Structure 1
């Protein structure tokens, strides 16, 4: 029954000793004088309200309906009120143990780590950067940054690498021994599990037990003693041959770089053969430049003493050295298996990379050809993938009969418009298995003059062939570009960040100050993507900062997809302040799960920026602005705007705006399985429908909405369910649900049924709570009466993403 408080008359539970309202005891005693003060305050407030009410009644006799309370708004933030960004712990350094006796082998542990650069002070940035009227308030900054020309970063890395190399060589000469890399020792552990059991039956595969680690002087090669061992010997794409490791994607990228000595020179910091066996390779691993030091022990076949993996013809070492350096960065050679050329291009060049899919149903064939010609003219590096997409225009057997390998990466060496003929020069990194169709070397239809120019006599290029653009589009699924712009003095800015999981205070955004019209390209890299077992989505949005210091209009964004990298492509920004948010939503319900990532900005002008904390409200604002700009609107009633985001989104986002001033909107969003017609788009099924039930005889009512996505498959829901029911207050908007592609190896299905209705109360009514595939009768029976959202928001991050907010904020 409970007990009634003597002072404030509040009914309390029997087990409560003190009143929840005024703090008085159950026996009627006041606690520390608090009850009397509250009683007086409450009595005064009631008297004042009574007087005001009487005055209103005297003024008009019309019935009075109090307006509904506005939805609770999240705490405000400003990108200019920067909080301290949590810093990652420094990587441990393993010094040489003093108890361990010295042996005549020099390892990386014997050399001290390079001294880190001094941190940049925000005062220096503020003095160097002119302020605009939008940002006149001096503010603290957690991490101050400015972009630098890419060539300057290369010079700094080379200087630090030389200092470390001198120390290693000094110790080697002092102890009269060669260098052995103890961080990546010549053992089976560094090999990893190379193949699944089923793959061992494939010819050319090698077992770890059949491998012996040898230095160059101990190996046999195809070129024998005709060429001395060198790092470079007039490198070309035909010098690269793939071994027993399935890393054609990396070798295809290396074949492209072999034709660009200006790039290759920046990768191999050690350019001459080392008698001490120590080499330094500069790679861009997961978006961060890294100088990797390795020795010259290579895996070889025990029976023949030849290189087991990548081979550089003419006894060139740069090919196996680059392969070994990346294997060391990943921890094992086995981690190099399977990939796409674009990944290898990003690793070797550090340049912004972009992929064009050739599988789109609405592919603009002429535009893609124009981009190929433009990319070749601009000096970009270009690769391609054959038969690795979700669609296959021709059977695999047909491609094989014409000499092509499916699930394989190729290099594009040249692009030519010869009269009406559109031709591409393509190369297989294996040095064999070449195209045998039209425009191949032995094709009988070659015009004599064109054959003399494109196939000069006596010039042999193993693995290279010409093919027509139309044939290329049939057999290949994507084209990869690396936009090399060092010669154009482009600048770069690289910012480490953490994304994913339930949004927390350790998330980071990047605020940019653009002082003049600037062309740029932004990329987001997932850290450790090759060593991870799961797939996570990546999304990057660039917003203008509004006058209140909040995330404003969306300028551009990357595709949202399951990948190791996301990129925006090239775009222009006018002078002003901008903020870049980096998001991953597929792990939204996984608590403290985090992904290490790198946010990279390339620009043709120098930029100033600050790495700032990205609170959950800022991330939600970013998604809201995305939906406002790109959401497909399906109007169903005046004052209500449902928006659906599916294009380039890797799933679905549903947001509803309720602009009705005195009506609550109840929504059911159902993405569960049901007998709905499906629209197939590039291996993805997408369908949205809206059903509205409105009672026009109700005043000051609530409008319930149901969103049913239960017919979707291979997706994850940010609400933990595919059917959600929500009550959207007047003049409010709400992100109802976000679906994310789950398994990248399969397509996904997205369907959504949206049902909206009016109601007198904010609580979910019985009409909206009908069972469906996404919410069974048993599940709905457990719904607590009086709630406004089902499923309820389980944590603060869910509340920040999905709670209603004012449309005016």
Structure 2
């Protein structure tokens, strides 16, 4: 029998409800969820000690703080094709001249009645971060979670709190910034001599290595850095399905009514640069979404968008003077610089994606760092918790990239399982949701009923003996109710049981015979899994698989040719294949298989180590 599958370059996040089988283990630790405010208080307490020690030393020595981990040299600026580093000078804030003449009479402050329109992006291409920061500036109370040093000090010592790789980190920075030949800030600044914008930008530059390393990105990354919460990404230009504009409008309207942080990006592949220019909308640019409103008299919807540059001058023929006046009375931000109303059809024409932050100040969260396993026989971390009542839950899996400018091409996934009264051996009594993505971030959000749950992250991309890449990840669980998460090591056979049960409830039948079945999981996933099922009560099932005609794939068995012998009344995951193609490349999984029912057992090739606990071990019905 022969089957062929073709991969795509898009990165879907797919969920499905199914069943699982689990089993208990011994090694475990427990973590307690914290509220946003409690976590901030804990971070501030630790950072305050470091801050006061540095401040005291600088005062005693009558000197200014210079950050030796991010010194004022060219290396900290990095390589930029659009900028000559030699024309930049590092200056302290007391030496910097404001770009606005009216600001020269003001003293520096960390922030003072900040407004999004105060943010002015400079020569650095980090609009993704500025668009996110503009949304944060709408909520000054949120800045308090980020800016830990709230008063300007002569020693130049500041603490900024950023959520990097799913973990809150307190970044120490000085007050020395790259400036132009006119002694003005070269990169992003804020009017009214507010320091919070260049401080946050510098903290991110230090975190990622240099200012050049924060050029280019998506608004969702900026929102995650500043809020620590996952985002819902809506693709307005999908390749595999038609845009359901009514459903997307309902999501956008709901997000606006819930006062969530929302971003949008241009840069569609089906709109050329000339059309963007004609409509006076910046292409490949990040914007903030401030409001959404339906005008019943003309049966038309409109979106209020802000350009963080303040340079968009879009005009819409549907925006007549009466309609525009009516819309401007709805939202006070309509008159702020860079803000404009756009009709929903035109929004869908020019915008490529919408990003909705799930941040909520009253959520609890647990943040656990661990590593993806290196083999199909290695014990795998699982995360077990109990919900006391029905709650909205966000689960995020974040891969720790060594360099944010390098795209991630491995697949990472997790299974969320409802296990009722704790871990059980009974297959077919539990629900499971599978999430998978080829990016560095996998996310699921939904409502869960009270009960016991387990989350199992996995990535077979690292099941390679010579793989030296970073395999660290952070699992973040947000919930409306307090939870305790128990981290327990389980055998990889538990993961196999989860995936087999998921496939059983949502399967694509490949072949069904009297004595055996073959199937894969239906739906869009970033891997392909083949399950063989021996129904016979007496005979063994030999199955030989050939994947050698496949292109740019990675098999969990480490070989493109496999042979297995499945006992009576058992199932087995014969292979799990992930794509290795990068953008601009194609990948294809092309395989054939042969089967035979026999009376005697034979060994698997390649050999499956850990006969009963391996991911590829055969599992009883």
Residue 385 of structure 1, aligned match among 265, 268, 290 = 265
Q: Distance in 1 between matches of 2:611 and 2:580?
A: 20
What is the Cα deviation at residue 562 of structure 1? 1.9
Which blocks of at least 5 consecutive residues in structure 2 are unaligned? 1-20
Give the direction of change, closer, same or farther, for the CA distance of 1:78–1:761 in structure 2 (3 Å limit). Answer: closer
The aligned counterpart of 2:10 is: none
The aligned counterpart of 1:584 is: 459
Check if 1:522 corresponds to 2:395. yes
Q: Distance in 2 between matches of 1:341 and 1:235?
A: 20
What is the Cα deviation at residue 348 of structure 1? 0.3
What is the Cα deviation at residue 551 of structure 1? 9.3
What is the Cα deviation at residue 478 of structure 1? 2.0
Using the TM superposition, name which of 644-653 and 794-803 deviates more: 794-803
RMSD: 3.0
Check if 1:237 corresponds to 2:50. no
Q: Distance in 1 between matches of 2:237 and 2:398?
A: 24
Structure 1 segment 258-277 matched on structure 2, within 5 A? 258-277=137-156
- Tell me if the contact between 2:392 and 2:445 (Cα under 8 Å) persists in the aligned partners: no
Residue 801 of structure 1, aligned match among 599, 603, 615 = 615
Structure 1 segment 215-614 matched on structure 2, within 5 A? 215-224=92-101, 225-301=104-180, 303-360=181-238, 361-387=241-267, 392-419=269-296, 420-438=299-317, 447=323, 449-450=325-326, 453=329, 460-486=335-361, 489-503=362-376, 505=378, 507-528=380-401, 530-531=403-404, 533=406, 534-545=408-419, 549=424, 555-557=431-433, 559-576=435-452, 578-590=453-465, 593=468, 594-614=470-490
What is the Cα deviation at residue 481 of structure 1? 1.4
Larger radius of gyration: 1
Check if 1:158 corresponds to 2:34. no
Residue 637 of structure 1, aligned match among 501, 507, 513 = 513
- Give the secondary structure class of the aligned counterpart of 2:461: coil
1:336-376: CA deviations, max 9, x gaps?
Answer: 12221111111101123221222341433212111111111
Residue 174 of structure 1, aligned match among 37, 55, 60 = 60
- Give the secondary structure class of the aligned counterpart of 1:586: helix
1:657-704: CA deviations, max 9, x gaps?
Answer: 22122333344545565xxxxxxxxxxxxxxxxxxxxxxxxxxxxxxx
TM-score norm. by structure 2 comes to: 0.87
Q: Distance in 2 between matches of 1:551 and 1:478?
A: 42
Structure 1 segment 637-676 matched on structure 2, within 5 A? 637-645=513-521, 647-669=523-545, 673=549
The aligned counterpart of 1:742 is: 580
What is the Cα deviation at residue 492 of structure 1? 0.8
Q: Distance in 2 between matches of 1:271 and 1:426?
A: 30
What is the Cα deviation at residue 259 of structure 1? 0.7
- Tell me if the contact between 1:510 and 1:580 (Cα under 8 Å) persists in the aligned partners: yes
1:476-501: CA deviations, max 9, x gaps?
Answer: 22211111221xx3211111111153
Check if 1:191 corresponds to 2:5. no
Give the direction of change, closer, same or farther, for the CA distance of 1:802–1:794 in structure 2 (3 Å limit). Answer: closer
Q: Distance in 1 between matches of 2:395 and 2:383?
A: 11
- Tell me if the contact between 1:733 and 1:807 (Cα under 8 Å) persists in the aligned partners: yes
Q: Distance in 2 between matches of 1:352 and 1:554?
A: 26
Q: Distance in 2 between matches of 1:459 and 1:358?
A: 24
Give the direction of change, closer, same or farther, for the CA distance of 1:449–1:333 in structure 2 (3 Å limit). Answer: closer
- Tell me if the contact between 1:562 and 1:744 (Cα under 8 Å) persists in the aligned partners: no
- Tell me if the contact between 1:669 and 1:724 (Cα under 8 Å) persists in the aligned partners: yes
- Tell me if the contact between 1:524 and 1:582 (Cα under 8 Å) persists in the aligned partners: yes
What is the Cα deviation at residue 588 of structure 1? 2.2
What is the Cα deviation at residue 461 of structure 1? 3.0
Using the TM superposition, name which of 620-629 and 593-602 deviates more: 620-629
- Tell me if the contact between 1:510 and 1:581 (Cα under 8 Å) persists in the aligned partners: yes
Q: Distance in 2 between matches of 1:646 and 1:747?
A: 24
- Tell me if the contact between 1:719 and 1:798 (Cα under 8 Å) persists in the aligned partners: no
Q: Distance in 2 between matches of 1:273 and 1:181?
A: 17
Give the direction of change, closer, same or farther, for the CA distance of 1:455–1:567 in structure 2 (3 Å limit). Answer: closer
Q: Which of 1 and 2 has higher RCO (CA within 8 Å, sep 6+)? A: 2
- Tell me if the contact between 1:655 and 1:734 (Cα under 8 Å) persists in the aligned partners: yes
- Tell me if the contact between 2:417 and 2:430 (Cα under 8 Å) persists in the aligned partners: yes
Structure 1 segment 136-147 matched on structure 2, within 5 A? 142-147=28-33
- Give the secondary structure class of the aligned counterpart of 2:460: coil
- Tell me if the contact between 1:550 and 1:618 (Cα under 8 Å) persists in the aligned partners: no
- Tell me if the contact between 2:40 and 2:145 (Cα under 8 Å) persists in the aligned partners: yes
Q: Which has the higher strand share?
A: 2
Q: Distance in 1 between matches of 2:441 and 2:132?
A: 16
Q: Distance in 1 between matches of 2:36 and 2:220?
A: 20
Q: Distance in 2 between matches of 1:283 and 1:613?
A: 30
Q: Distance in 2 between matches of 1:256 and 1:620?
A: 42
- Give the secondary structure class of the aligned counterpart of 1:230: coil
Give the direction of change, closer, same or farther, for the CA distance of 1:761–1:338 in structure 2 (3 Å limit). Answer: farther
- Give the secondary structure class of the aligned counterpart of 1:255: helix
Structure 1 segment 698-737 matched on structure 2, within 5 A? 710=550, 713-722=551-560, 724-737=562-575
- Give the secondary structure class of the aligned counterpart of 1:566: strand
Q: Distance in 2 between matches of 1:569 and 1:485?
A: 13
Q: Distance in 1 between matches of 2:564 and 2:279?
A: 57
1:722-759: CA deviations, max 9, x gaps?
Answer: 55454433212121222213245247555555545434
The aligned counterpart of 1:137 is: none
Q: Distance in 2 between matches of 1:459 and 1:466?
A: 8
Aligned length: 591
What is the Cα deviation at residue 608 of structure 1? 1.6
Give the direction of change, closer, same or farther, for the CA distance of 1:629–1:305 in structure 2 (3 Å limit). Answer: farther
- Tell me if the contact between 2:580 and 2:587 (Cα under 8 Å) persists in the aligned partners: no
1:625-670: CA deviations, max 9, x gaps?
Answer: 3323333234532353322236342131121222122333344545
1:74-116: CA deviations, max 9, x gaps?
Answer: xx9943x322xxxxxxxxxxxxxxxxxxxxxxxxxxxxxxxxx
1:374-426: CA deviations, max 9, x gaps?
Answer: 111112111122226xxx34344433432333333222122222222211112
- Tell me if the contact between 2:127 and 2:308 (Cα under 8 Å) persists in the aligned partners: yes
- Give the secondary structure class of the aligned counterpart of 2:497: helix
Q: Distance in 2 between matches of 1:505 and 1:807?
A: 21
Give the direction of change, closer, same or farther, for the CA distance of 1:471–1:721 in structure 2 (3 Å limit). Answer: farther
TM-score norm. by structure 1 comes to: 0.67
Q: Distance in 2 between matches of 1:556 and 1:427?
A: 40
